[in-house]
Amino acid sequence: MSDPRIALVAEGSTDFIVIEAALKAILQRPFVLNQLQPEPTRPEMGGGWCGVFKWCQEFRQRGAAHIESDPTLSNFDLVMVHLDADVADKSYADCGDAVVQAALALQPLPCAQPCPPPSDTVLALEAVLRSWLGISATGSKSLFCIPSKATEAWLAAATLPANHALLTGLDCNLHLETQLAQLPSGQRIRKSVRQYRKLAGVVTAQWTQVISHCSQAALFDQRVQSIAQAFLP
């Protein structure tokens, strides 16, 4: 049986690293992870959530009713679209006039809800993401990955000591990236591909700890396992 082929649309390369590390813990078997966005050969798409929006806009324009029925994605065993939950606090104007015009008939931003619970904001952002894609729901081989408030929460849960102050209210912390970069030497985590790659193995090894602290990590785990039943031996 060939290794499962998984596609990921993500905000950035550091998100790709953290999500790949999570998948290694969940699937516990080899797989091939393809990064569809950001795409180095298409710099005009840009990165961040604005790049995800542009990728979704192209998907919507192709007119597929489901992610699985799009001919460019149909050969993947799993297709994941990532947004950090802090996007719910953003505005389309952050991405420029062209995005503002393209989003006129779509679900509005910002859409953030009081946190806790983080799930209310995530549900609102899922509705936004479905409108970007032009679909009514994800299907049998697709899912949304929406860490709250960002993938840094998963990294923090894996790497910080169990009693660390930053683990309190982790799912609702909008300033975690800055706070991690200001920690004392030895605990400090700066957002860089190099450092995230060094910590990826810790995320995989401590995944049980991550899902105990981060409700959206637990939901991601459940969704991946449900879809993986179709391609795991």
Percent of the chain scoring above 90 in pLDDT = 94
Q: How many C-beta neighbours within 10 Å does residue 108 have?
A: 13
Identify whether 136 is part of a domain: yes
Pick from 35, 32, 27: which is nearest to 10 by CA? 35
Per-residue pLDDT tens digits for 176-221: 999 999 999 989 999 999 999 999 999 999 999 999 999 999 999 9
CA-based R_g, the chain, Å: 17
Alpha helices in 28-141 (DSSP H): 48-62, 97-102, 118-133
Give the burial string for 50-71 (b: 16+ CB within 10 Å, else e): bbbbbbbbebbeeebebbbebe
Q: How many domains does the chain have?
A: 1
| Domain range for 49 | 5-150+215-228
Name the helix (H) or strand (E) containing 8: strand 5-9
Give the pLDDT score at 44. Answer: 82
Identify whether 166 is part of a domain: no
Identify whether 90 is part of a domain: yes
Give the pLDDT score at 1. Answer: 65
Identify whether 161 is part of a domain: no
Per-residue pLDDT tens digits for 147-171: 999 999 999 999 999 999 999 999 9
Identify whether 30 is part of a domain: yes
The whole-number average pLDDT for the span 72-77 is 95
Identify whether 42 is part of a domain: yes
Q: What is the reported pTM?
A: 0.96
Identify whether 59 is part of a domain: yes
Identify whether 145 is part of a domain: yes
